């Protein structure tokens, strides 16, 4: 039987000791047969360098946001010591419905690490936007009855929870009948509202962006998933919870870009926390043990009888991963995946044919006006939330004009499922001095979202995405265009991770050359259509105030 001798990190006993680990077989369902602590009678030289420990579990991630299909995502995540993920396939479900879910499950069956998919609870995310599919309460209940779906994914319709919406209540009730956890999504919810939300059966939240909010949700009995992703980074704000409530937290990335995933995953979060002096066992239990226990995963925790899932790291400071084993099989070694890249067997998609011109993105001003006051979305780098600001913009030939000099650009959302005029508004803090960027990754309905310094560039970028039937596009001030195609649902590539990561980096660099100061221009852009996150967002039907859950006019009416 395979045997390893290293220092072992026992996260239940909270101790580290030299041990011999023996497991049965190197594939399939390999399980740990024995763990023997090595004593003074064992020669010191028989202990190999490094530390054996349970692997990391990402407690909430949208695989689609990596722009990689599940099998390729898993191949890369395993290099960084991730042995399982809790994943919400909400993105592809909003595009393709159950067809998309079946694609993700089929891909995951071939993946080198387990991916625990939940049943998306909000398809569409709201009734204020056009999605490509709908999963009603009956569909959700039917899917939850399948063992492949161990939980109900993030319940974003928190107003529906608090207001007793019958459809929302039926979905939660279906999960509760089956004893399956319900994930939450309620940014900014505090006090008695947080208590009511939790008491409805919501067990987690990954959207806390203030420490006070997170404390309220812990007090209400919820687990707080501290998020450190590509677009939203809350670790610096929420990390005091590690010491205050170590048994009530987990870690997640939520959305991870392909370029960043190639470089690291939860291993970097662990190193960050330990460097800042937090207890190693508290940090590692949150990353390894709590997700397994909360979601009832089969992932092993390095105990006798457990499935043989574990990792070997150089030390307990950097957490540099030397090897990853899943079910007794080594799936990554020294930063290299054991399995080769495998292209997906199918490329499901949903994209209508359409072309656009600058004329499609006009916003008419009141007759005779020389300038107008408009509501402007203020993007915040590294956050999903936005602010609402007011600004006066000039009118030319009866049309409201963007003002790149003040970083006030035109934002558009174009319906990819059915014929409809684009929705247009204005946005600040994207920073483009010229040109435009566009993306078919536009949470949650994944319409085509674009921002530009002028209407012509905006149309050119949108056209490029439609022509590719999904992808990311950058248009410089002279009309030159570069595209990263995403042929799987307009969300994921069919190419290897390294290739996708480099292409993504290249397009992000081009966006910065156009003036963007954002750390992740495309990811930030994708969330400007996420209607459930305050304050202002733009959907395919218009400008939306997520605080009041209603549409508002772009031009401020007297």
- Residue-wise pLDDT for 169-188, tens only, equals 999 999 999 999 999 999 89
Phi (first) and psi of residue 16, to 5 degrees: -125, 130
Using a pLDDT cut of 70, give the percent of the chain over it: 98
What's the average model confidence in pLDDT over 237-249?
96
pLDDT bin (cut points 50, 70, 90) of residue 274 is: very high
What was the pLDDT predicted at 27?
58
What are 311's strand-pairing partners? Answer: 53, 324
Q: Residue 234 corresponds to which tokens in the numbers above? A: 């809350």
> What does the pLDDT average to over 273-302?
97
Percent of the chain that is helix, strand, coil (3-state, to 5) = 30, 25, 40
| Strand ordering across the sheet containing 310-313 | 32-37, 15-23, 3-10, 51-53, 310-313, 321-326, 329-333, 336-337
pLDDT digit string, tens, across residues 66-76: 999 999 999 99
Average pLDDT over residues 343-353: 93
Average pLDDT, the chain: 94
Above 80 in pLDDT, residue 289? yes
149 pLDDT band, cuts 50/70/90, is: very high
Which DSSP letter does residue 530 get? -
pLDDT at 44: 59
Checking if the pLDDT of 380 tops 70, the result is yes
CA distance 414 to 279: 48
Collapsed DSSP state (helix, strand, coil) of residue 395: strand
| Beta-sheet pairing, 82-87 with 115-117 | parallel
CA–CA distances in Å: residue 537 to residues 100, 196, 523: 26, 26, 14
* 191 C-beta neighbours (distance < 10 Å), count: 12
Amino acid 290: pLDDT: 98
Q: What is the percent of the chain with per-residue pLDDT over 90, rounded to a whole number?
A: 86
Rounded distance between C-alpha atoms, residue 486 and residue 139, angstroms: 28
Query: Does 479 have pLDDT greater than 80?
Result: no
DSSP labels, 86-138:
EE-THHHHHHHTHHHHHHHHHHHHTSSS-EEEPBPS-SSS-TTS--S----HH
Residue 26 has pLDDT above 70, yes or no: no
Nearest to residue 113, comparing CAs of 183, 149, 51, 63? 63
pLDDT at 42: 75
pLDDT at 445 over 70: yes
Which CATH number among 3.40.1620.10, 3.20.20.60, 3.20.20.140, 3.40.1160.10 corresponds to the domain 55-298? 3.20.20.140
pLDDT for position 28: 65
Arithmetic mean of pLDDT, 458-480: 94
pLDDT at 558: 67
Give the DSSP letter of residue 553: -
**How far, in Å, CA of 359 to CA of 380, rounded?**
29
- Alpha-carbon distance 321 to 323, whole Å? 6
Picking from 276, 217, 277, the residue whose alpha carbon sits closest to that of residue 250 is: 217
| Backbone φ/ψ region at 504: left (φ over 0), alpha (ψ -120 to 50), beta | alpha
Nearest to 75 by CA among 502, 498, 503: 498
Q: Within 13 A of 347's CA, how many CA atoms are on the CB side?
A: 13
Strands (E), 275-385: 310-313, 321-326, 329-333, 336-337, 371-379
Range(s) of the chain covered by CATH 3.20.20.140: 55-298
The mean per-residue pLDDT over the stretch 365-382 comes to: 93
135 — pLDDT class (breaks 50, 70, 90): very high
| Between 463 and 385, residue with greater pLDDT | 463
Task: Compute CA 538 distance to the chain's CA centroid, rounded to the nearest angstrom.
Answer: 19
pLDDT in tens, 489-536: 999 999 999 999 999 999 999 999 999 999 889 989 998 999 988 899
Q: Is the pLDDT of residue 227 over 80?
A: yes
Mean pLDDT of 105-128: 95
Task: Calculate mean pLDDT across residues 272-295.
Answer: 97
- Residue 216 pLDDT level (bands cut at 50, 70, 90): very high
Tokens 């319940």 correspond to what residue? 155
Report the alpha-carbon distance of residue 375 to residue 421 in Å, rounded: 20
Contact 197, 207 (CB under 8 A): no
Q: Per residue in 47-104, pLDDT tens?
A: 889 999 999 999 999 999 999 999 999 999 999 999 999 999 999 999 999 999 999 9
d(CA 142, CA 387): 39
User: For residues 554 and 395, what is the distance between their CA atoms, to the nearest angstrom?
Assistant: 14
- Assess whether pLDDT exceeds 80 at residue 236: yes
State yes or no: pLDDT of 45 exceeds 70: no
pLDDT at position 43 is 61
The predicted pLDDT at position 547 comes to: 87
Nearest residue to 147 via CA among 189, 120, 117, 102: 117
Tokens of 334: 């020294």
Q: What is the pLDDT of residues 1-16, one digit of tens each?
A: 899 999 999 999 999 9
| 557 pLDDT above the threshold of 70 | yes
At residue 40, the pLDDT reads 81
Give the pairing type, strands 423-428 and 399-400. unpaired
Q: Give me 68's structure tokens.
A: 């990689």
Give the integer Cα–Cα distance in Å for 262 and 83. 16
| In contact, 77 and 337? CB cutoff 8 Å | no
């Amino acid at each position: 039987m395979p045997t390893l001798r290293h220092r072992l990190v026992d996260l239940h006993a909270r101790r580290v000791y030299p041990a011999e680990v023996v497991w049965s077989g190197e594939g399939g369902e390999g399980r740990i047969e024995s763990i023997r602590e090595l004593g003074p009678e064992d020669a010191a030289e028989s202990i190999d360098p490094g530390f054996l420990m349970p692997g990391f579990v990402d407690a909430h991630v949208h695989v689609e946001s990596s722009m990689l299909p599940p099998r390729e995502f898993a191949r890369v995540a395993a290099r960084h010591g991730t042995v399982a993920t809790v994943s919400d396939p909400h993105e592809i479900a909003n595009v393709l419905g159950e067809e998309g879910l079946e694609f993700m499950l089929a891909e995951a069956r071939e993946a080198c690490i387990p991916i625990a998919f939940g049943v998306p609870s909000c398809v569409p995310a709201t009734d204020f936007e056009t999605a490509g599919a709908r999963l009603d309460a009956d569909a959700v209940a039917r899917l939850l009855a399948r063992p492949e779906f161990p939980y109900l994914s993030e319940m974003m319709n928190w107003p529906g929870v608090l207001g007793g919406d019958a459809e929302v209540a039926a979905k939660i009730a279906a999960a509760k009948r089956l004893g399956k956890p319900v994930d939450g999504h309620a940014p900014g919810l505090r006090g008695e509202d947080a208590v009511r939300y939790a008491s409805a059966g919501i067990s987690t939240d990954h959207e806390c962006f203030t420490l006070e909010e997170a404390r309220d949700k812990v007090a209400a009995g919820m687990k707080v998933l501290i998020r450190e992703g590509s677009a939203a980074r809350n670790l610096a704000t929420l990390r005091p919870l590690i010491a205050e409530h170590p048994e009530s937290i987990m870690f997640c990335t939520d959305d991870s870009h392909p370029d960043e995933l190639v470089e690291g995953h939860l291993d970097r979060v662990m190193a960050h926390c330990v460097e800042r002096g937090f207890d190693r066992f508290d940090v590692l239990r949150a990353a390894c043990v709590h997700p397994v226990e909360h979601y009832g995963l089969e992932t092993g925790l390095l105990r006798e009888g457990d499935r043989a899932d574990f990792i070997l790291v150089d030390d307990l400071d950097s957490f540099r991963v030397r090897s990853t084993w899943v079910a007794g099989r080594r799936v990554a070694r020294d930063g290299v995946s054991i399995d080769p890249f495998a292209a997906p067997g199918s490329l499901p998609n949903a994209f209508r044919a359409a072309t656009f011109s600058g004329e499609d993105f006009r916003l008419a001003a009141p007759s005779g006006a020389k300038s107008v006051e408009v509501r402007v979305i203020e993007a915040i780098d590294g956050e999903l939330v936005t602010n609402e600001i007011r600004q006066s913009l000039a009118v030319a030939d009866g049309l409201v004009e963007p003002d790149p000099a003040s970083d006030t650009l035109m934002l558009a959302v174009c319906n990819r499922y059915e014929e409809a005029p684009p929705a247009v508004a204005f946005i600040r803090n994207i920073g483009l001095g010229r040109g435009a960027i566009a993306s078919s990754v536009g949470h949650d309905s994944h319409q085509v979202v674009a921002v530009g310094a002028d209407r012509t560039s905006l149309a050119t970028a949108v056209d490029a995405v439609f022509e590719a039937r999904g992808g990311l596009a950058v248009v410089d001030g002279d009309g030159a265009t570069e595209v990263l195609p995403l042929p799987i649902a307009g969300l994921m590539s069919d190419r290897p991770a390294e290739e996708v990561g480099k292409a993504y980096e290249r397009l992000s660099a081009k966006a910065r050359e156009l003036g963007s100061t954002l750390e992740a221009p495309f990811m930030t852009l994708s969330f400007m259509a996420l209607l459930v996150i305050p304050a202002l967002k733009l959907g395919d039907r218009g400008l939306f105030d997520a605080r009041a859950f209603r549409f508002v006019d772009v031009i401020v009416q007297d």
